[in-house]
Structure 1
Amino acid sequence: MAMRRRKLLQQASLATLSALGLPALWRQAKAKNTTAAIKELQRRLGTRLIRPKLPWANLLAKTPVPVELKNPWALSSQAGGTQSTGMVGAWTAQASHNAVRVGSKADVATAVDVARLHNLRLVIKGMGGDYFGRSSGPPNSLLIWTHDLNAITTHQSFTPEGAPASQPPVTALTVSAGNAWLHAYQAATAAGLYVQGGGCTTVGACGGFSQGGGFGSYSKRFGSGAAGVLQMEVVTADGQLRTVNAFQEPDLCWALKGGGGGTYGVVVSQTLLAHPIPRLDGWISGWIEASDDGALEELLTNYLELVQKSLINPNWGEGVVIEPGQRRLQMMTSFIDLEANEAEAIWTPLLKQLKSKPHAFDVQVHFHAVPFENKWRPQADAVHWDRRDGAPSGQFWWKGNQNEVGAYWGGYQGRGVPMSALEGESLHRLAKAFVSASRTSFLLFQTSKGLAGISPEAESRQRQTSMNPAVLNDAGYVTLANWTQYRYPGISGHQPNPRESLKQQQDVDRAMAFIRAATPGGSSYVNEGNFFEPNWKQEFWGPNYERLLGIKRRYDPTNLFRVHHGVGSDT
């Protein structure tokens, strides 16, 4: 009876507050709070406080999309720019009303202090490549834009701060929050070194990539992006700049190595383990086309058998693509430190078998290898050069990544493929699932996004990250996606078609149902999972989530840093 009375009193109180117009008063108070915060930022940062806008905000209805909106470097050079424009039912690219164009670590600390004191929503953006909108809006947020932090330092002998005297030094590379992976690779190559990052040249080298885990073409040799991090400088919710590593604040360091970007603080620099530069960079080009669905299933069965027997090791990475409704297996496989003829010999039994059935298979496959130091000086036919006035010399992006620029996503999901899915009858079920899924969705399978077969040295480092440990049992990773390109929500004449986008989403959902059924025990990861994943804590982090949540509460008790499906985002 007493509980019922209290409930009635609460309802009456809420009704009274509403009648008095207090929700409007709360909004007014919030606006005053924001105004006070902006005045404080103007006083302390001056011209570093800017007003971002979407790069496509002034696009007219009957005008073609300009070349600048098709250039990922141009998009990343604008505070309001993002590589994607949104996802149906999930998020839409928006420009924060105010942004701090960071010029120093102190600027980051100032922005965090003011946001905490005035209860402002924070957004962090380096290159703006997040698929799920974590580096975009909402409009009433304060954006911390790290683009101008671009120093890179090579270390021939690096020891983390606070390490014991017995700790052996290593070669390393320190990157800043405004660097892209291309910049890191070019600097490492000049020093005869290699760092493990992402395959896309425009992805940030010191942001959500490694904080979310991050995979590259050679992760089976060198580990994930997170596994290569030795030390970070991070501004936490209390405004402090902390240097964290395995010896100083090791819990926070562990959380930042896979616990998700935009969740524990603003990482302003990180130092990466650098390896001796590999000898050869190799890749397979071309395709294998099947005549019908039955032949495609046979092709995929034989390909997955090759993966299981010969490609789950440190020499191989990347994988294959099937466009929606097609029966062509497009080659995008990479290999490292193998001559082209050595790589071809591994594939020859499969290719010979397929070529013996010309009525069923068209085989157009080619093997290439070049000195590794030439990887970041590619042939012109493989890349688009950044030809803007003032663009740094040698800045490019791969032609294979062009179709993601300006993408409005109907659906985007990913799923790890455990080794058990490549055994016996399970392999045949997986091949059937690939066929079924690719009827309605773009399908990408990459062996380098699963860490089964990883080198022992890299495995040791990988186990020191906070990523879902299930990744160590994954042979690879399946990405399913449908999208339209150069569609801009809210821009007349250039808006996405809602019905088309919704159908794309439904088609990806349908396709993923086939993949999930064929991959029991599989998982996902925070950077490329499913925006709508209901079981995201288990999928992204598995047994590590509770420890990650405890660290989150210790360093960010008010949840100042929060992103969609980030640790603690539901509390």
Structure 2
Amino acid sequence: MPACVWNSLNATVGGRLRNATPYAKSCFSGSFDEGECAGLIDEYLDPARRSDHFGAYINAEWETCQATAEECALRWMGATARDGQCRQGAVPSYYIDVSDHTDVAAAFEFSRRTGVLVVIKNTGHDYMGRSSGPGALGIWTHHLKSMSYDKTFVPQGCEATMNPVPAVTFGSGAQFSDLLAFANENNLTIPGGSDATVGVGGGYLQGGGHSPLSNIFGLAVDRVLEYEVAVPTGDFLVANECQNPDLFFALRGGGGGTFGVVMQVTTRALPRAELVTVSASFKPTTSIERFLEFVIPYSVGWAKDGWSGYIYTAGIFHLSKLDTTEVDALAYMAPLKTFLLEELYIELQVSTSHSYGDFHEKYLHLSSVGLPKCIPVFPASRLIPAETFSDSPKELLKTLMQLINALPASFIFANAPYVFPGDGKTSVTGAWRRSIWDVTFGQVWDYSASPAEQEKAYRNLSRSMDPLRAITPGGGAYGNEADVYEPDWERSFWGENYEELVRVKRKYDPEHLLDCWRCVDWKGASDPRYHCYF
């Protein structure tokens, strides 16, 4: 593309077009900068630093072109400078540091006119590579961080049909750390995931968004009241129950990078919550198999009673509930307390958190939560329906243990919104409401793994999930943490909602300017833009 074409785009967006450089470039011999490299090495595994750099991804495998081994990565176990050439990999060539919707409209028009691909990036928490793309123009929403609280919010156009509710409106680049602080300052509850560096309004929210308390407060999309979104037709739209309700439906679970660029979100602000949590820390010698054998028969009952939490198979277990006391919680969990003490020699702890921020600090911020960050890692997930716990408990235990023993990372999110019905107007798969657990497994590698070794790892992880899929016929998968090669992905991610999502996609993006790996109505793996995938 001639330089004058890019210069023209730069002028249109007020000088906010940037060259995109790979994160580790300063540590390569061809472009070595001693001072910059030293700082980068010190903070190579820091997701907060990475989220501030367009060329960095929290899921670092998507900085690289995996199929061709083009990359600019450091060894993550003891990062050091490297000889050789830093290559662009899958990092887009240019990006626009978006300040308002006119920048997005300019990007779409540029793509329409030149054929240059566009991708949307927030903070780079993306396990499927949807926010990267070789040769692409990136639309970077990271600096959209406005935030306000309205005690009497009514969605635009709904004045005659809806009562005012407390709500928080924030730019799509606002991160959980921002929302946690804001909620604490205003005595509110805004549940989120474990990683405080996630950009809330991006793929996290648009893909559904679970938290440790999803069985109490629902998924993130359950609480959304309104989006302001720039769509590929060039329009800047409000999407809520009263305006563009089909787009509102699609953005409430249909996935990021697909229907448009969300500029601003308004979500219901819940009052300060007091949570009682029971927890236990596992020892290196703890038998996870024996623990799960005990827990599986109780899990549906716990979910029905409103408990929600996480099981980190290499760390801790915690379940939380509203409207109870520490005494009542320990009485209710007496069988678990006895089992842990007498068979696993572990004490069941109980504590009260006086706000969600307090809870996050105790159980999420300081613990090794979720899949590894800032290194090459890819997951596969499965929603486990309630029926599996009653119909196939032995098969469930056996299958889970096979995966736990075979893979380096495993997590059981005992937080599916089983007792939170929602409003029936979100586009996530209905399996979320039928399930008790969302289980996630992960594989990792170092930068030196060959393309053949990486492809083998992907395929082996995908195949290893087949027995779990077989015993959970009513389940699905969480698209934000899914197998890159998930079979029957349309049904797994969106279930009965898929056909309607395709219709919405074609309405608001008729020229298909947005496309991403296994997103709604994607062009397919044979499209040249996916040459970095296996």
Q: TM-score by structure 2 length? A: 0.85
Tell me the secondary structure at the aligned position of residue 465 of structure 2. helix
| Partner deviation per Cα, 1:262-309 (whole Å, 9 max, x = no partner) | 100000001001111112363524026767xxx654432211122122
Aligned with 1:43 (options 11, 35, 39)? 11
Preserved CA contact (<8 Å) 1:281 1:375? no
Instruction: Pick the structure with greater CA Rg.
Output: 1
**Long gaps (5+) in structure 1:** 1-30, 324-328, 384-396, 489-494
Which residue matches 1:116? 112
> 2:456 and 2:342 mapped to 1: Cα distance?
39
Paired amino acid for 2:252 = K
Corresponding position of 2:372: 404
Offset, 1:82: 0.8
Whichever structure has more strand as a proportion of its residues is: 1
Aligned positions, number: 495
Greater displacement, 535-544 / 297-306: 297-306
Q: What amino acid is the match of 2:505?
A: K
Which whole-Å CA distance do the structure 2 matches of 1:353 and 1:399 have between them?
A: 24
Amino acid at match of 2:171: S
1:103 alignment partner, SS class: coil
2:139 aligns with 144
1:248 has 2:201 as partner: no
**1:501: Cα distance to partner?**
4.4
Q: How does 1:207-218 map to 2 (within 5 A)?
A: 207-218=202-213
Q: Which residue number corresponds to residue 13 of structure 1?
A: none
What's the counterpart of residue 172 of structure 1?
A: 167
Q: Which deviations, in whole Å up to 9, do the C-alpha atoms of 1:384-420 show, x marking residues without a partner?
A: xxxxxxxxxxxxx5442486222212x4100000010
The offset of 1:345, in angstroms, is 2.9
- SS, match of residue 422 in structure 1: helix
Which residue of 182, 189, 206 corresponds with 1:187? 182
> What is the rounded CA distance, in whole Å, between the counterparts of 2:459 and 2:238 in structure 1?
45
Structure 1 partner of 2:425: 464
Question: 1:235-274: per-residue Cα shift (whole Å, max 9, x none)?
Answer: 0112211111110011111111111101000000010011
- Give the gaps of 5 or more residues in structure 2: 72-88, 525-534
Equivalent residue number for residue 50 of structure 2: 75
Structure 2 vs 1, CA of residues 399 and 567 (structure 1 numbering), >3 Å: closer, same or farther?
same
* TM-score, normalising length: structure 1: 0.80
**Residue 434 (structure 2) pairs with residue 473 (structure 1):** yes
Matching residue's letter, 1:57: K
Question: In 2, are the aligned partners of 1:288 and 1:364 still within 8 Å (CA)?
Answer: no
Counterpart of 2:349 in structure 1 is 366
Q: 1:318 aligns with which of 285, 309, 320?
A: 309
Q: How does 1:240-389 map to 2 (within 5 A)?
A: 240-280=235-275, 282=277, 284-287=279-282, 296-314=288-306, 316-323=307-314, 330-357=316-343, 361-372=344-355, 374-375=357-358, 378=361
Contact 1:234 1:268 in 2 (8 A): yes
Check 1:522–1:95 CA distance in 2 against 1; reply closer, same or farther (3 A cut). Answer: same
Alignment equivalent of 1:531, drawn from 484, 498, 523: 484
Secondary structure at the counterpart of residue 466 of structure 1: coil
- 1:444/1:373 CA distance change after superposition, 3 Å: closer
Relative distance call for 1:287 and 1:81 in structure 2 (3 A) is: same
**Conservation of the 8 A alpha-carbon contact between 1:80 and 1:94:** no
Distance 1:166 1:57 in 2: 54
Paired position in structure 1 for 2:385:
418
Identity %: 27
**Contact 1:221 / 1:313 at 8 angstroms: preserved in 2?**
no
2:511 is equivalent to residue 558 of structure 1: yes
Give yes or no for the alignment of 1:205 onto 2:200.
yes
Q: Which amino acid aligns with 1:253?
A: F
3-state SS in 1 of match to 2:494: helix
Kept in 1: contact 2:429–2:496 (CA 8 A):
yes
1:497-552 CA distance string (max 9 Å, x none) = 65764564455345423322332221113211211123111111111111111111
Match of 1:9 in 2: none
Task: Please give the per-residue CA displacement for 1:334-383, whole angstroms capped at 9, x wherever unaligned.
Answer: 444544443333332123134334xxx3425433323116527836xx78
Amino acid at match of 2:95: A
Partners of 2:51 and 2:357 in 1: how far apart? 25
Once residues 250 and 357 of structure 2 are traced to their aligned partners in structure 1, the CA distance between those partners, rounded to angstroms, is 35
Q: Label 1:90 to 1:364 Cα distance change in 2 as closer, same or farther (>3 A).
A: farther
2:308, 2:414 within 8 Å by CA — same for their partners in 1? Answer: yes
The separation in 1 between residues aligned to 2:179 and 2:351, in whole angstroms, is: 24
Give the match for residue 528 of structure 2.
none
Aligned 8 A contact 2:58 2:373 in 1 = yes
Name the amino acid aligned to 1:71: D
Q: 1:433 aligns with which of 393, 399, 403?
A: 399
Closer/same/farther in 2, CA of residues 402 and 523 from structure 1, 3 Å limit: closer
RMSD, matched Cα: 2.7
CA distance in structure 2 between the aligned counterparts of 1:312 and 1:497, rounded to whole angstroms: 47
Which amino acid in structure 2 is aligned with residue 320 of structure 1? I
1:17 aligned residue: none
Summarize deviations over 1:309-342 as a string: whole Å, max 9, x none: 223443x22221235xxxxx74244444544443
Question: How many angstroms apart in 2 are the aligned matches of 1:212 and 1:206?
Answer: 10
Distance across 2 between alignment mates of 1:79 and 1:330: 34
